[in-house]
Amino acid sequence: MWYDLYARRAYIHTLIMNTTVEDRTADTRGTTGLGVLILMISVILTAVIAAGIIIDATGHLQSTAQATGGESKAEISDRLSVLATSAEVISGDNASDPNQVGAVNLTVYRTPSAGHIDLQEVTIQYFSPYGTTFLLHEQKYADRPTDETTFTSDLGTFSIKAENDDDSSIPVLNTHTDRATVVIDLDSSSGPNTILEPLQRGDSATIQFTTQSGATTTEVITVPTSLNGKSGNTILL
């Protein structure tokens, strides 16, 4: 009898122990599953936030790239082309060759890929044997702020003559058939700039146009080695 009692006690003890182990295992599995679920939710939320940041950054970069691309395109395409150059010959003080160039004329048009170009907003940088200076359209020079120290007496001016303008838009070149002549007066007595001196025979000068978009066009002119008998005439350069 005592043997049966002992066996029953052992059986009950084993049953209790197995139940406890199973409960503990179930609790452990439940806790582990809950932790994995929380971790998965955290990963998903982090991915969603990161995706939102990436989308915002991509949109900003795209907008910036488009704006920069538009500016770069304008700097390349909104250019002037020089169709012809000529010079006005005047009497000078040189005894061996008394004639000199008192004005330079450059007939310009916009390039095929360019938009509208306002010649009043064009800036010219002029390089000659007598110095370097910047030129503004005469109207822009006249309208300059009186207290603006940037506009000094070292600046020169240029004027514009319409050559072909079907819709009277010049000084704005708004069609590919528009033609205008930019006139640079080199007689310092008639302008604000003392650097603009008449060009002598054989002299060269470089003229760089910069449009409002920043596009540049450069033209080099050279005076013939002889101007005899040309006073009062217009010569091609």
In this prediction, residue 23 carries a pLDDT of 52
Do 171 and 225 reside in the same domain of the chain?
yes
In this prediction, residue 8 carries a pLDDT of 56
Do 82 and 72 reside in the same domain of the chain?
no
β-pairing, 172-173 vs 117-118, is antiparallel
Residue span of the structural domain in which 55 resides? 1-77
Strand, helix or coil for residue 234: strand
Do 111 and 71 reside in the same domain of the chain?
no
Do 190 and 105 reside in the same domain of the chain?
yes
Do 71 and 96 reside in the same domain of the chain?
no
β-pairing, 131-137 vs 156-164, is parallel
Nearest one of 154, 217, 228, 226 to 191, comparing CA atoms? 154
Where among 60, 77, 94 does a domain terminate? 77
Do 42 and 104 reside in the same domain of the chain?
no
Bridge partners (DSSP) listed for residue 207 = 126, 219
Give the integer Cα–Cα distance in Å for 228 and 176: 38
Q: Which residue has the tokens 């920069």?
A: 68
Answer positive or negative: Cα dihedral of 59, 63, 64, 69. Answer: positive
Nearest one of 48, 102, 112, 46 to 78, comparing CA atoms? 112
Do 89 and 201 reside in the same domain of the chain?
yes
Q: Are 198 and 206 in contact (CB under 8 A)?
A: no
In this prediction, residue 68 carries a pLDDT of 47
In this prediction, residue 150 carries a pLDDT of 53
Where among 40, 55, 77 does a domain terminate? 77
Q: Are 191 and 156 in contact (CB under 8 A)?
A: yes
Give the integer Cα–Cα distance in Å for 77 and 22: 80
Give the integer Cα–Cα distance in Å for 80 and 121: 12
Do 1 and 67 reside in the same domain of the chain?
yes
What CATH number should be reported for the domain holding residue 195?
A: 2.60.40.10
Do 117 and 195 reside in the same domain of the chain?
yes
Query: For the chain, what is the domain count?
Result: 2
Where among 44, 77, 110 does a domain terminate? 77
Strand, helix or coil for residue 137: strand
Q: Are 117 and 80 in contact (CB under 8 A)?
A: yes
The three state secondary structure string of 166-222 is: CCCCCCEECCCCCEEEEEEECCHHHCCCCCCCCECCCCEEEEEEECCCCCEEEEEEE
Nearest one of 107, 84, 87, 99 to 234, comparing CA atoms? 87
- Residue type at 230? K
In this prediction, residue 2 carries a pLDDT of 45
In this prediction, residue 56 carries a pLDDT of 73
pTM score, whole prediction: 0.67
Cβ-proximal residues to 146 (8 Å cutoff; 6+ apart), any chain? none
Do 145 and 92 reside in the same domain of the chain?
yes
Do 173 and 123 reside in the same domain of the chain?
yes
Which segments of the chain have a pLDDT < 50?
2-3, 21, 67-71, 190
In this prediction, residue 67 carries a pLDDT of 47
Do 221 and 169 reside in the same domain of the chain?
yes
